[in-house]
Amino acid sequence: MPLVTGGSGVFEAVQRGDGEQVALLIQQDRSILKQRGWGGFTALHFAALHGNRPIAEILLNCGADPNITCDAGQTPFHFACRHGNISIMHKMVQHGADLRMVDQQGKTSLHHAVCGGSIVAMQYLWETTMFRFSDADNLLITPLHMAASTGNTDVVRYLLRENRCSADAVDHKGATALHVAAEKGAIEVCWLLLHNTGLHILHTKNHTGLTPLDLCSRGTTFRHQQLTKMLEQFINKPKDQKPRESYVMYYWTLLLPSVSGAAVFLIAAALGENGGVLCGLLFPLLAKVTLSQYHRMSDYQRLPNPIYLGTLTAAIIHTIIFLVQNTLKLPLTLLHIWPAYTLLNVSVLHFSVVLWLFWKLLTQDPGKLKAVDTDPRISSIADLVESNQNPCRFCVYCELFQVANCKHCRLCDLCVMDYDHHCLFLNRCVGQNNHRVFLLFVLAMIVAQLFFVGTAGYYLHWRSEVEESWSWSSVAMREAWVLLLLIINALAVLWETWLLSEQFNAISAGTTTYFRQCHHKKSNWSKRTVTVLLFLIEGKNFRSKNQNAIDI
């Protein structure tokens, strides 16, 4: 390998990530550790800037100083905080990094971590007990001001939690964090600040006499317009109140599939043979509206979107209505096996089980991670780094150290043990406590849907025979809602069968569908079958107890 000499050579090698070249250059001339390049950056500045841990360790082990400042007064430790690389930060602390150093603007390492958006880095700095979240720079800008400026809602939530930062703090212009967010048009940040602090902050004026609403109304973007409407709703309310979350749109979205489906079916029934045409035109439109929905609602509250839960509820309701209304119309026997009343009683019993499992899934804790469930050996992010585990095991939302097979769900806003997936049709997570119930619910749904498909098919056949003047096309038009429900249930059976196969495959391997990619070892077919059956019958925990931590 050709050797590049001179100070510029080490900078180029660091930016290329060529650790071997860096080591050779240092061995040739150790003075390059203190040499400065563009902006007064040293080689360690560049390594921290790019988050290159191996090269940073080479430089630190060779004696690079983590406290050398660049032209802006920023140290390599500041750069590491901005990048959010905890391993480099911890290594610099071990090599004597001065955490109290500030740059020429008076910004601390905590300011730089906030600017980079790394909550894990912020937590690491807070655990050193050398920082206060209320610390301001030379312009009185607090970490909350910076988070509001960048529009990072996760950082804002972290800083507002447990009153770490005061939302009433003002900078050199007299502006609060709400002023900054309103001027940027950050509607979600403004909602978080108002919801956490109260409406009194909305009336605070800066040194020029402007409120957050005044600053927002100057904006010309769509987000500024939406934010202006929201602030105008709150400006005339009592100052001592806090805005509450509104669930009107949430429940309307939840009921929309049932209401719209019922309206279409009733109109189609009134139109007779033309009803099939109406269903054929409107149901694809309803399906498009449903499938085009995002996981969260589009308003500033960002609540989970219940449209898929509403769709499942609507399908269950309309299916039950058909069975109750039309089963008794069938002739004496169904396929010459079951009397109609017996068929009705069996269907009611089975659908009662389905509804009970459905309700249990909607109300049962999926397996929320609690403080008592965490590893007692891990009490700080530094412990994770020193034990060679991933610092991301610290959940920045729950502020807990996750155990194996645990994941935070942003929609449910909790850490779920033995996380499998977030089911949009339940608007809930599937995890340790409800995984077995979920599988039983899917099995019960498949049986119920097969039962419905058979009953609906026989009903349509019976109608075509009873009404001798009706052709199959006429029956399909007049009983369009039955035909549509039959098709939907048949397609749902195919999808649920595939879903069950994926679930059983993961369970038999001793993992979940989310963490299955981390497991490669498979046992023979008989052992896997026994594992699945034990889990379904007894709810026996199948998870592997000896799981290694993720290396960093």
Per-residue pLDDT of the chain (552 residues; tens, 9 = 90+): 333 344 568 888 888 888 888 888 888 888 888 888 888 999 999 999 999 999 999 999 999 999 999 999 999 999 999 999 999 999 999 999 999 999 999 999 999 999 999 999 999 999 999 999 989 999 999 999 999 999 999 999 999 999 999 999 999 999 999 999 999 999 999 999 999 999 999 999 999 999 999 999 999 999 999 999 999 999 989 988 888 888 888 999 999 888 888 887 777 777 766 766 777 777 788 888 888 888 888 777 888 999 999 999 988 888 888 777 766 565 544 444 455 566 667 777 888 899 999 999 999 999 999 999 998 889 899 999 998 888 989 999 999 999 988 999 999 999 999 999 999 999 999 999 999 999 999 999 999 899 888 888 877 777 777 666 566 667 667 777 778 888 889 999 999 999 999 999 888 888 889 988 655 556 677 788 888 888 888 776 555 443 433 333
State the Cα–Cα distance between residues 496 and 130, nearest whole angstrom. 54
> How many other C-beta atoms are found inside a 10 Å radius of the C-beta of residue 27?
10
The 10 Å Cβ neighbour count of residue 115 is 19
**DSSP state string for 30-72:** GGGGT---GGG--HHHHHHHHT-HHHHHHHHHTT--TT---TT
**What is the rounded CA–CA span in Å between residue 167 and residue 192?**
10
Closest CA to 280 of 483, 472, 464, 458: 483
CA neighbor of 279 nearest in space, from 483, 489, 464, 492:
483
Q: How far is CA 189 from CA 45, 156, 270, in A?
A: 32, 7, 50
The span from the CA of 393 to the CA of 384, in Å, is 8
Q: Enter the DSSP assignment of 192.
A: H
Euclidean distance between CA atoms 147 and 189, whole angstroms: 9
348: which residues sit within 8 A by CB, 6+ positions away? Answer: 323, 324
Tell me the one-letter amino acid at 380.
Answer: S
**Dist CA 459 CA 330 (whole Å):** 7
Between CA 288 and CA 296 the distance in angstroms is 17
Contacts of 186 (CB under 8 A, 6+ apart): 148, 151, 223, 227
pTM, two decimals, is 0.85
